[in-house]
């Protein structure tokens, strides 16, 4: 596979906050602890403390969650004091969702490998944090395969990880391809969390990747002191707001907005925000549930699983229950973590190294040949379609499509005419300028006609150009944000192995992978 690289800034696809972070701008240094460079991990290891009891709880939880998995990993390595994790997370998009989710997993696996090479005295376990408690079903219920969209419709509500995926049976009848892996996962498991664990383990278990479902009583009990603090003192929202204002004062757009209480109430078919009212009681929005302070703290102590951290506290939850060194995130995740550092400092928790995931565009052999034939560069591919087509036509035209030289000659003559007219009668200036404008408009119309004529002359090349552009940017979006990995995997069972082989977790560029 031939790989070509392009700076992310050249793609026009990323926010200034994300780009400034990966280029190590000084003004952002106070928003994180360590930049994602290989030498920084030794310092991160030295800072990360994680006691034996937490390790035992983590291993016991994983053993329980993997009971249905026949080829489960050996979790005992996590009991060792020299073992650390590197983590990525995402929602449970059906059939893995867009390509970039798979790319996050591959980046995390490769990061663990690279760290083991650099620090052989330690063990590094890649972890997929399954966002089982997320309740935004509309974000996970669809996927695109070979140009067609498929969607799961259900009446189930609440945390998606608890939903029964066997309803997807009707969806399989709409998909022309036989997807045995996903049929086994979805139709023989009772929860979406169990199904996702099954297929992720089948795809990446051999690479050492572990799936963790944090919707768990034992894990929530470890995090309960921080949730108690959030209910009583409500400091996290204030701290995030402060960091948010600092970022905005630097001209950046921020991603998340904190709440006074950054916890949800979680139960079957229900995940709703908790608010504290003016009289000091707590209520669960859109329900009749109300609690006094003593009642809600007693509930937390007895049933911590009924409390769910939102986007502000979920990262802190992750770093509380894992011996984690780094979080691998996308171009919207890394920026929102930059809003959270003060929360970590407040709760005396080590802030992880923020690793951007790998970014890639997979170019199948037919498209790769066309790109070569058309003489396109990586920069060309990321141009606006109309600009790309215009520049292609102009570059391959046998004659120039602009009247630049002619315009200079004519305008020189018109300036002379204007000068003479003003000498005779100053009021003739408007008439001469009007004629000059009409001439310019006529030239512009002629240029458009010539360009359209040249496009017809180059019809084959233009058609191939647009075909390549549409294939790599389906519906005008980056391939990795819309296409499913199955689009390529069904034609090439080594697709995932190839991406594992070419991704470098410390290379923060767009990677074009040409077959």
> What is the reported pLDDT for 443?
73
Say whether both 316 and 459 belong to one domain: no
Between CA 148 and CA 483 the distance in angstroms is 10
CB burial of 262-281 (b: ≥16 within 10 Å; e: otherwise) equals bbbbbbeebbbbbebeeeee
- Decide: 170 and 182 in contact? Cβ < 8 Å: no
Q: Look at the chain and report how many structural domains it folds into.
A: 2
Contacts of 150 (CB under 8 A, 6+ apart): 95, 142, 143, 144, 171, 174, 175
Say whether both 328 and 470 belong to one domain: no
Say whether both 381 and 429 belong to one domain: yes
Say whether both 116 and 160 belong to one domain: yes
Residue 505 parent element (H or E): none
Q: Which residue has the tokens 């951290």?
A: 309
Over residues 471-488, the pLDDT tens digits come to 999 989 999 999 999 999
Say whether both 509 and 465 belong to one domain: no
Over residues 172-206, the pLDDT tens digits come to 999 999 999 999 999 999 999 999 999 999 999 99
Say whether both 63 and 88 belong to one domain: yes
Say whether both 462 and 327 belong to one domain: no
pLDDT bracket for residue 458 (50, 70, 90): low
Q: What is the mean pLDDT of residues 28-54?
A: 97
Q: Worst-scoring range by mean pLDDT, 13-27, 339-353, 392-406, 437-451?
A: 392-406
Q: What is the mean pLDDT of residues 244-254?
A: 98
Q: How much is the pTM?
A: 0.90
- Decide: 198 and 184 in contact? Cβ < 8 Å: yes
Domain region containing 433: 366-477
Pairing of strands 282-284, 270-276: antiparallel
């Amino acid at each position: 596979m031939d790989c070509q690289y392009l700076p992310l800034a050249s793609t026009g696809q990323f926010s200034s906050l994300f780009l400034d972070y990966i280029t190590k701008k000084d003004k952002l240094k106070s928003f994180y602890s360590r930049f994602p460079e290989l030498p920084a991990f030794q310092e991160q290891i030295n800072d990360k403390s994680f006691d034996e009891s937490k390790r035992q709880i983590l291993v016991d939880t994983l053993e329980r969650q993997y009971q249905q998995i026949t080829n489960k990993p050996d979790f005992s390595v996590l009991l060792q004091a020299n073992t650390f994790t590197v983590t990525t997370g995402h929602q449970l998009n059906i059939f893995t969702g867009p390509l970039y989710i798979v790319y996050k997993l591959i980046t995390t696996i490769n990061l663990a490998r690279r760290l083991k090479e650099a620090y052989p005295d330690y063990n590094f376990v890649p972890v997929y944090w399954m966002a089982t408690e997320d309740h935004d079903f509309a974000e996970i219920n669809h996927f695109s395969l070979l140009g067609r969209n498929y969607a799961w419709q259900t009446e189930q509500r609440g945390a998606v990880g608890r939903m029964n995926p066997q309803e997807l049976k009707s969806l399989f009848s709409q998909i022309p391809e036989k997807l045995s892996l996903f049929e086994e996962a979805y139709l023989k498991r009772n929860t979406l969390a169990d199904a996702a664990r099954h297929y992720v383990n089948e795809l990446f278990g051999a690479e050492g990747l572990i799936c963790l479902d944090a919707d768990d009583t034992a894990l929530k009990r470890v995090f309960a002191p921080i949730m108690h603090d959030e209910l009583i003192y409500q400091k996290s929202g204030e701290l995030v707001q402060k960091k948010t204002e600092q970022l905005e004062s630097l001209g950046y757009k921020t991603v998340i907005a904190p709440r006074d209480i950054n916890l949800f109430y979680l139960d079957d078919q229900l995940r709703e925000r908790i608010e504290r009212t003016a009289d000091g009681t707590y209520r669960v929005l859109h329900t009749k549930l109300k609690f006094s302070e003593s009642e809600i703290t007693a509930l937390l102590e007895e049933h911590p699983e009924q409390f769910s951290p939102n986007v502000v506290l979920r990262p802190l939850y992750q770093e509380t229950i894992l011996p984690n060194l780094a979080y691998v995130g996308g171009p919207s995740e890394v920026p929102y973590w930059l809003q959270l550092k003060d929360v970590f400092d407040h709760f005396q928790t080590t802030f992880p190294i923020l690793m951007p995931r790998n970014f890639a565009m997979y170019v199948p052999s037919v498209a790769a040949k066309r790109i070569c034939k058309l003489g396109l560069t990586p920069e060309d591919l990321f141009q606006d379609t109309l600009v790309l087509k215009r520049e292609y036509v102009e570059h391959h035209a046998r004659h120039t499509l602009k009247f630049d030289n002619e315009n200079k000659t004519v305008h020189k003559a018109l300036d002379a005419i204007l000068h003479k007219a003003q000498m005779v009668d100053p009021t003739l200036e408007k008439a001469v300028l009007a004629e000059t404008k009409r001439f310019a408009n006529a030239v512009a119309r002629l240029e458009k006609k010539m360009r359209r004529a040249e496009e017809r002359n180059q019809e084959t090349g233009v058609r191939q150009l647009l075909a390549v552009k549409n294939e790599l940017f389906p519906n005008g979006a980056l391939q990795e944000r819309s296409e499913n990995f199955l689009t390529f995997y069904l034609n090439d069972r080594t697709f995932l192995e190839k991406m594992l082989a070419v991704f470098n977790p410390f290379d923060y560029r767009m990677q074009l992978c040409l077959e």
